[in-house]
Structure 1
């Protein structure tokens, strides 16, 4: 539930026919409360009365007959959401234009929030922005040529702050989610147990960003072609990063204002009509952008290999979404185990930098994205399409094996297992089923971090794929009946339409024909179809 209340006072006047002044002063109050409940359960039997079966607490190794805990028991979750964010702000905008040619604007805003606890000096710190615009097309001399029909140049600078609403200045505890009595009640004292859900983050500050924007808007050949281009530079400091903390804190990580980052990039949009006749029209629209970012400062980080594979390791000199993977050198054709190379350069410090025994895999963010829209009209029939292109970026495929033990009947398994190693194979490229000889071992430079070949294989370079894709977002077809036919049917207007969303995706060959969403562990994108009939009487 949310509400927003805004009250403003504005002034708008033109002096001497050429001086236009517009100002606005206002205040704004808002509140957002999120509440809800969610749960995750296993053992659902859709074709057996849509019921749930009892998931066993322990499983038995078919080889050694030894019992071990069923990992699925840890995946049952119940979550209650109860969060409230209050904000108050005041703002002022001033805009001045001279004869429609030269425009200057300035805005300032001050905000306060309940997300910053007792640090009152973080409230009402102002953010502001200013800009200049020159409408070149309004100059007298501009009309002496007939190629560029419209042209304007613009520049703006802004200082913004961002508030992290996911953290609280108060300590939040919760009842353990496990159903086992030993996890809810102390076995010695009989007292109820609690878990720390969120530590108090009283000293968090706003993230601060300075932005420079340079832009040009242009129309060519009587505005038949419209072009917009913008180049920007953003410099951020006090960025909130995740800091891994010792287990004595009761949590794994905490947010801190420990990062600085520089962003730069450009955005381009073009729209034009290649063909326009009385009965046929073809319109096209293109938009694309390119963003470059580089971390210039990071806060203190307690790193593990899991931080490196998730893209959360903020390493100086690398892009924000950079990630690393274990180096898989193939499959041992004798045992079927993956071969992981953990060699590292002499003098490395694996305790403070786990990437020394890993390989840089790339970055999660794409190098290039773009959109393409096309529409065609022939008399009363029209067709429109929308595409999205992503070039670059890397992803991990979904886990090959969820654990170092044999998969259970409760797990969804990839079709890749059909090509797994089997005894006698000499050229297998996918590891065989794990057996009792798979053991956990310490990673280099650590005394508490254990893993095994199968877990490392899940996050190895053998599981990294190119995320480039071309996605068709929608296709729609519409036919408007001639007025003569509509009148014969006793109506003013009638049209039929059909549309399809997410009809297809062309993905990298690394996915080997599989759905990219499913292959990376997500739910498949749903395609939808709709038909419409519009009648006006």
Structure 2
């Protein structure tokens, strides 16, 4: 979608019917969205101009401790460190007294507080809100010009677009230049051919904001106090150094000096020809070429951590070239006025090639102006510098037959045979049939007298599809580069980096759908209801294997998962006079369940990039269920005296965990399923009003019944991080003593454990949002047609209102990555907040 200008889109169609989607083969494994771009129309040529400008801000700030609250918490931790460090030490002792006891003249931050915290005016310190420093008002502008027209022999649409977005956070930005040309020529009454070309060039700037341990994490966890004068890293501006902070570098200065630039040049092109052999029989051949070139450059200044740390940089190049040739024959005929038949047969060949190169370097980089790798002193080893090449081929044969009798009885059948080079030699091909039937009851004679009913149709479909979304060579044992020491000397060689699996085959999805469409009062009220089940077998999953093999996991076909649910859509024309009012709503429910996991149905823990796995595959439970220890309040001394199960050496004020297996201790074996990552219900409602040239619409959308596990909140808020970092705002209500237990949920600041994953960072992903409010006016009512054919001005507000229950991060919809590896569903490690935007736009047609 990034390569399609929204103003070039004529229509978007989502194929939900199993039979309708099955003809697209493996590409339909996760659904089909058909996007039709604009073509010229007969009549006078048209020139269009579309433009909008806007501003955006973060829709939400993360609630963390203020500087005063952080100082109070830090003092608790430091004083506790001091009291426990030796006899005769008390929290009331001053810094000078502590220095005397330690016989030192310098400051020891871990055992001495900054006395300026509690002095009037905090002399020499600046209290700072890092989110206010880093988030800004983003600006967006976009301009598009298009021309279209058609004659008896030529149909054309051309357009050009420029979009510039300054992100809502320091360092973020995006620019895109795109063009489109859709041309179709009628060479004769039987032959026509066409060319569609869409080049797009974009530049994305992101200095590593999202993801594990990235800038956003550094920003919100930074101590909210800085020295009022520049420190040792003075070359990077004021306020860099604070002795009690976790880092000497301002996260804002780092984002200003870091580079994360990605340049993408992509060209999508289609050349096609269509010939009518005889009446009703059309042959069509198309060639599609997709060339995608991506170059990425990163640079991390030395100031990111310590003044003595080394700067580093990287460069990567990526090229993917995809060639598709599709040939079809379509026969359409109407027999006896009531029998409507369409038959299609086709063949497609798809080949995709990927080339990758990556270089990394550290050291050198004497300043932040020269950031190319030749300025570095050290080119990293083979782990960072490499080139890769891969290729995959997909061959498809397909056919479809559609029949309609009098528009009342509908039948469609299709079959597709796909062959993928990604699977073993004996399993490369899969066959995927589908069928659907429909009955438009409203056209039966016995329904004619039911006046309010304008449409009634029953539908049923069943279809199989395949999934080959794995690496190009996952079925074979490829080689990797490794180092090994022989006789004290380091040697480099090659060894297999995965287990061979020649039995790897297609993942198969069977979808069954039953639906009804119904309309009343000439379809002023129109709705549909669908009930579906989707069963996926031979899942392509990485499962743990015996480490004696030399590998941690292996990709295999294993297990079965079922999704079942329903969806309701309803559109009503409430008013249709001078004031028009239309309402559209949708409401859906989906329940996911693991049915089978191979021999023995053993539970599979999903590998995590941090500590114990927090997601699991278990028969009878949803996919990727959240699997952690359940917290149940705060430990009291009475709990401990009564033999409560403890995690390591817990004391009063620490979280109390459930001993799920009853063995008297808390460990990884006490993890239980506490929630599912996907919402059970999603919904949306749109209301549109029109009156004398004005139009007003608003969209409200939400979800319910899911959970999100905040690895982001855990990284900020877990115990034993220490005084240097900030904490989530809920730490205000922490346990301070038996007499001041807080809210009974948040443990004491001085705990010295907390790495085990538990429900302390489990949140509901429920939310509702007013996604969009648009007010427009048709300028064509006041401007003569001799000047322009039409014009509309509008203003749109996005994400200005809403509510969620996610206090461990910015966005319950967050999906983010760590070094290119996507986190498990339902896990957030620092996704950006939504942008609330105000946009002013103009659409003009000449």
| Residue 504 of structure 2: aligned partner | 204
In the TM superposition, what is the alpha-carbon distance from 1:418 to its structure 2 partner?
Answer: 5.2
CA distance 1:17–1:214, shift in 2 (3 Å): same
User: Which residue is 1:443 aligned to?
Assistant: none
Q: Does the CA contact (< 8 Å) of 2:603 and 2:619 recur in 1?
A: no
Cα deviation code 1:25-44 (max 9, x no counterpart): 100112334555789999xx
Query: 1:362 maps to what in 2?
Result: 675
2:798–2:836 Cα contact (<8 Å) kept: yes
Listed as ranges, the matches of 1:135-534 within 5 Å are 135-166=440-471, 168-175=474-481, 188-192=488-492, 198-278=498-578, 280-299=579-598, 301=602, 312-332=615-635, 337-345=654-662, 357-397=670-710, 398-401=712-715, 406=721, 414-417=728-731, 419-420=733-734, 426-428=740-742, 429-433=745-749, 438=752, 453-456=753-756, 459-486=757-784, 490-508=787-805, 511=807, 516=812, 521-534=830-843
**Contact persistence 2:630–2:657 (CA under 8 A):** yes
Partner of 1:55: none
SS at match of 1:462: helix
Find the partner of 2:422 among 115, 124, 127.
115
Question: Alignment partner of 2:448: what SS?
Answer: helix
Q: 1:131 maps to which residue?
A: 436
Q: Partner of 2:352: helix, strand, or coil?
A: strand
Match of 1:106 among 372, 389, 413: 413
The answer to whether the Cα contact below 8 Å between 1:175 and 1:184 also exists between their aligned partners in 2 is: no
Deviates more, 1:250-259 or 1:394-403: 394-403
Q: Whole-Å Cα distance in 1 between the matches of residues 679 and 562 of structure 2?
A: 17
**Range with bigger deviation, 220-229 or 369-378:** 369-378
Change beyond 3 A, Cα 1:467–1:223: same
Q: Using the alignment, how far apart are the partners of 1:361 and 1:211 within structure 2?
A: 29
Relative to structure 1, the CA distance from residue 274 to residue 503 in structure 2 (aligned partners, 3 Å threshold; closer, same or farther) is same
Deviation digits for residues 364-403 of structure 1, max 9, x if unmatched?
Answer: 1111111212211121111222222101111223343468
Is the CA contact 1:381–1:479 (under 8 Å) kept in the aligned structure 2? Answer: yes
Partner of 1:45: none
Deviation at 1:141, TM superposition (A): 2.9
Give the drift of 1:515. Answer: 5.3
Q: C-alpha separation between the residues in 2 aligned to 1:40 and 1:289?
A: 47
Tell me, in whole angstroms, the C-alpha distance in 2 between the residues paired with 1:213 and 1:306: 34
Partner SS for 2:754: helix
Contact 2:704–2:767 under 8 Å retained in 1: yes
2:540 is paired with a residue of what secondary structure? strand
Change (3 A) 1:502 1:196: farther
**CA apart distance, 1:11:** 0.9
Mapped contact 1:24–1:94 kept (Cα < 8 A): yes
CA distance in 2 between partners of 1:184 and 1:27 (Å):
49
Residues 1:129 and 1:305: Cα distance change in structure 2 (over 3 Å): closer
Residues 244 and 302, structure 1, Cα contact 8 Å, conserved in 2? no
1:476-521 per-residue CA deviation (whole Å, 9 max, x = no partner) reads: 2211125344469x4443321222333343112x639965468863
Q: Which of the pair has the greater relative contact order for Cα pairs under 8 Å at 6+ separation? A: 2
What SS does structure 2 have at the residue aligned with 1:115? coil
SS at match of 1:295: strand
Contact 2:628-2:758 at 8 Å conserved across structures:
yes
Gap change, CA 1:514 and 1:401, over 3 Å in 2 = closer
1:37-116 matched pairs, under 5 angstroms: 83-116=390-423
Counterpart of 1:61 in structure 2 is none
TM-score (norm 2): 0.50
In 2, the alpha carbon distance for the partners of 1:140 and 1:342 equals 68
Q: Report if the CA contact (8 A) 1:196-1:251 is conserved.
A: no
User: Aligned residue pairs: how many?
Assistant: 477
| 1:155 shift after superposition | 1.4
SS at match of 1:144: coil
Give the 3 Å change call, closer, same or farther, for CA 92–514 of structure 1 in structure 2: closer
SS in 2 for 1:137: helix
Check 1:389–1:79 CA distance in 2 against 1; reply closer, same or farther (3 A cut): farther
**CA distance, structure 1, for counterparts of residue 565 and residue 404 of structure 2:** 29
Q: Tell me the distance in 2 between the aligned counterparts of 1:528 and 1:375.
A: 20
- Deviation, structure 1 residue 407: 5.2
1:30 — aligned with what? 350
Distance in structure 1 (CA, Å) of the matches to 2:479 and 2:403: 53
Match of 1:5 among 309, 313, 325: 325
Instruction: State the shift of 1:105 in Å.
Output: 1.4
Higher mean C-alpha deviation, range 241-250 or range 281-290: 241-250
Cα shift readout 1:272-316 (whole Å, capped 9, x = no counterpart):
1112212x1111111121122332211365755967986642222
Residue matched to 2:265: none
Distance 2:658 2:672 in 1: 10
Structure 1 residues 19, 142: CA separation in 2 closer, same or farther (over 3 Å shift)?
Answer: same
- Secondary structure of the residue aligned to 1:400 is helix
The alpha-carbon distance between structure 1 residues 169 and 18, as it changes in their structure 2 partners (threshold 3 A), is same
SS in 2 for 1:164: coil
Structure 2 gaps, min length 5:
1-320, 372-382, 637-650, 815-827
Deviation at 1:185, TM superposition (A): 7.0
Give the 3 Å change call, closer, same or farther, for CA 97–266 of structure 1 in structure 2: same
Flag the 1:136–1:469 CA change in 2: closer, same or farther, 3 A: same
Q: CA deviation at 1:94?
A: 0.9
Is 1:395–1:520's contact at 8 Å kept on the other side of the alignment? no
Q: Do 1:401 and 1:454's aligned partners in 2 also have CA atoms closer than 8 Å?
A: no
Quote the RMSD (CA, aligned, Å). Answer: 3.9
Once residues 595 and 548 of structure 2 are traced to their aligned partners in structure 1, the CA distance between those partners, rounded to angstroms, is 30
Q: Is the 8 A contact 1:311 1:363 kept in 2?
A: no
